[in-house]
Structure 1
Amino acid sequence: MTTSKNNAQWEEYLLGGLGAVCAGIFTNPLEVIKTRIQLQGEMKARGQYTIHYRNVFHAFYAVAKAEGLVSLQKGLVPALWYQFLMNGCRFGAYQVFDNHGFTRNKNGDVIFYKSIICGVTSGACGAYLGSPIYLVKTHLQSKSDAHIAVGHQHKHSSMSSGFKAIYGQYGVRGLWRGSVASMTRVSVGGSIQLTSFATITSFARKHKFIDPDRWYGTLFCSFLGSCLVVSMMTPFDVVSTRLYNQPVDSKTGRGMVYKGIFDCAVKIYQTEQIFGFYKGFWASFLRLGPHTMLSIFFWQLLRSKFYKIKNNTG
């Protein structure tokens, strides 16, 4: 019995990770654009820096023209590994909590604060686990042609070379630089995403205005949840990108621009004002919205197909 439960738990982690990977293939170009726009004008007031990317669509054009269409998939390998590890843990752990009844009352309705706690816990664990991969992913996605370069330019040519360079110079600790910011970012976004999806799904199932177990119902519920995610997550996302991409002192291994989350937030506000926290908002919206929907859609689809096959063959 214990073995069966353990297998079921690992299945949830695997299915959650695969669902996120499927979504990541489609949304990685928007992640590249988002990263570039978030780094544009770093630590400078509006009007005091060259605007290489006027908006999301112009950014796509500028990157494709200068670096080729393939560059829109920069960092794809670490991006997919990050999705698999982070969201596998986040979705899987949350589903395990839900399966054990930690997020619902005896009537099956979602208990909001318990769902938030489970979402934050699962998100923080996933973000910490995947932080080294996210670090290298950010470096690769920000690396660009000189005349449209923004932010600090790292010299990695691949995920493996990035790991080797960071580990060789800063050790294991260097691989987890910026992990606190990532944990905060994912915890905020993840708790809202999973809680809103669970709440909306439960409401839809109870009032029967749409079937959340059908693909269109899952897509609709995840879309509503994604709107909340983008609004709350973007400022944390900007801070996280800045911390991951900043240059590092070769002797101390510390960031040369920001000391941490709070210091980064203060400096962004002092130099770029409130708008600085929402740089790349539309890229985030266009990326996070579809990614949130597709992640949950593929996750639920895979779970449905997997357990249908498993139950029929068991």
Structure 2
Amino acid sequence: MTSQGQGPLGLSLLTPEGRAAHVWTPGEELTAKLLFGGLGCTIAVFFTHPVDVMKTRLQLQGEAVAAAATTTTSVVLPSSSTSVLAATHTLHPTTSSSSTPGGAVMRTAATTGTTTVTAATQTTTLRLFPLLRQIMRTEGPRVFLAGLAPAVLRESVYSSIRFGSYDYFKGIYSGMGAAGLRGGEETTTLVKLMSGFTSGMIGSAIANPADLIKVRLQAFWPSGKPRYTSIADACKSIYVEEGIPGLYRGVVPTAARAMVVTASQLASYDTTKHWLLRLRDSQGHTMFHEGYLTHFCASIVAGLVCSIFTSPIDTVKVRYMNQQFNAQGKGHLYRSAIDCALKTVQREGPMALYKGFLMCWLRLGPHTMLSLIIFEKLRSLVGLNPV
């Protein structure tokens, strides 16, 4: 077994064979951490993506119907007409007015004579397993792969930056400089939170187009076909219909969510792990050591903390991104992320912000565990200090 590549004073260490171990420069170390962070999260997303699809569907339930219920569309019919008109607003335009996996049931009424036809709506919010059965019956298992390509692209950019630059910003905020923290030094909770805020914000802002496409592909398809055929088709369609700003719809709630996700996830993992490593039994022996068990326990705590703090922001982000926008960039349902949050609470109650919380936890828990264990292992294999 070889020794670490660099000692606490920056001196080269020797392997048991007497050869000099590789000495990581600050640039090489940052590059390796960026690569390992993205790789760990990209692997994790393959296992957790179906749960992410269900989370998105649960978060969108009741949205369209609640919005439609606030307005009434009136149409005057001639006395001989027997047409029944439906004034509906679905997440994606469709001529159908039947039940959807989002839980909306559209009903209409019409009378003869010079009559006003109004659209009435009724909301049926399905729980996890009924919604799962309905999705399987109407869309089939392929829906659980919806948005996988942009999800992988998003993680390869977003998580590379937020995981990889976390130590970099810890060095800056702790006063040790960008080349600091070469030996896994402990820092304050404030430094950890600030580092998570910064790395998460930068990563999410850059990866926002992929996140936007992922959300729209995961939403309900009234036509039975995905909204876009590929990432390239999505980028082209969004550019033609909404322009370049269209690719950055929801960048504010996305960045806010990413800041909270990264700060709560990495800071709680970092804090929990070092707390476990300091535990002693009655004889004064350490109870935990750097390794899989410690990483597993710390990541489970981090996944729960992250889910509690980010679920409301994630619901707002998903709803705001998924709505349609006109040529002027105005959303059909919400003017802004704050408007989305206020209307969601006003129409559906405060707990609507926690729609899909169980799925959020079931996704973030395993995702956090897999990504951080892989991240730590890759760092260990090449001789980099642990988180």
Q: In the alignment, does 2:51 pair up with 1:51? A: no
Cα deviation, 1:137-172, whole Å, max 9, x if unaligned, reads 0011114355xx9xxx97312222111101122222
CA distance, structure 1, for counterparts of residue 322 and residue 52 of structure 2: 14
Q: In the alignment, does 2:30 pair up with 1:9? A: yes
Q: In the alignment, does 2:242 pair up with 1:170? A: yes
Cα deviation, 1:180-237, whole Å, max 9, x if unaligned, reads 11000111121011111111111112223222x2112111111011111111110000
CA distance, structure 2, for counterparts of residue 131 and residue 288 of structure 1: 19
CA separation of 1:234/1:107 partners in 2, compared to 1, >3 Å: closer, same or farther? closer
Matched residue SS, 1:96: helix
Residues 119 and 194, structure 1, Cα contact 8 Å, conserved in 2: yes
Residue 141 (structure 2) aligns with: 69
User: 1:145-164 maps to which residues of 2 (within 5 A)?
Assistant: 145=222, 155-164=227-236
Matched residue SS, 1:110: coil
Out of 330, 335, 343, the position equivalent to 1:259 is 335
Read off the aligned partner of 1:108 and give its amino acid letter.
E
Identity fraction in percent: 31
CA separation of 1:201/1:101 partners in 2, compared to 1, >3 Å: closer, same or farther? farther
TM-score, normalization by structure 1: 0.87
Residue 272 (structure 2) aligns with: 200
Read off the aligned partner of 2:25 and give its amino acid letter.
S
Higher fraction of helix? 1
User: 1:302-313 maps to which residues of 2 (within 5 A)?
Assistant: 302-307=378-383
CA distance, structure 1, for counterparts of residue 51 and residue 202 of structure 2: 25
Residue 292 (structure 2) aligns with: 215
Residue 80 (structure 1) aligns with: 152
CA separation of 1:177/1:103 partners in 2, compared to 1, >3 Å: closer, same or farther? farther
Residue 27 (structure 1) aligns with: 48
Shift of the alpha carbon at 1:107? 10
Out of 181, 189, 201, the position equivalent to 2:261 is 189
Shift of the alpha carbon at 1:70? 2.4
Higher relative contact order (CA 8 A, sep 6+): 1
Residue 244 (structure 1) aligns with: 321
CA distance, structure 1, for counterparts of residue 132 and residue 288 of structure 2: 36
CA distance, structure 2, for counterparts of residue 89 and residue 298 of structure 1: 16
Residue 42 (structure 1) aligns with: 63
Residue 114 (structure 1) aligns with: 191
Cα deviation, 1:254-287, whole Å, max 9, x if unaligned, reads 2121111211111011101112101111111111
Shift of the alpha carbon at 1:103? 8.5
CA distance, structure 2, for counterparts of residue 12 and residue 260 of structure 1: 35
Residue 107 (structure 2) aligns with: none
Matched residue SS, 2:135: helix
Instruction: Answer with 137-146 or 274-283: which moved more.
Output: 137-146
CA distance, structure 1, for counterparts of residue 24 and residue 365 of structure 2: 37
Larger radius of gyration: 2
User: 1:121-160 maps to which residues of 2 (within 5 A)?
Assistant: 121-145=198-222, 155-160=227-232
Q: Unmatched 5+ residue regions in structure 1?
A: 309-314
CA distance, structure 2, for counterparts of residue 154 and residue 77 of structure 1: 13
CA separation of 1:107/1:239 partners in 2, compared to 1, >3 Å: closer, same or farther? closer
Out of 154, 161, 168, the position equivalent to 1:96 is 168
Read off the aligned partner of 1:42 and give its amino acid letter.
E
Alpha-carbon RMSD: 2.7
Q: Unmatched 5+ residue regions in structure 2?
A: 1-9, 11-22, 70-102, 105-120, 280-285
Residues 174 and 187, structure 2, Cα contact 8 Å, conserved in 1: no
Matched residue SS, 1:307: coil
Number of equivalent positions? 300
Out of 348, 365, 372, the position equivalent to 1:289 is 365
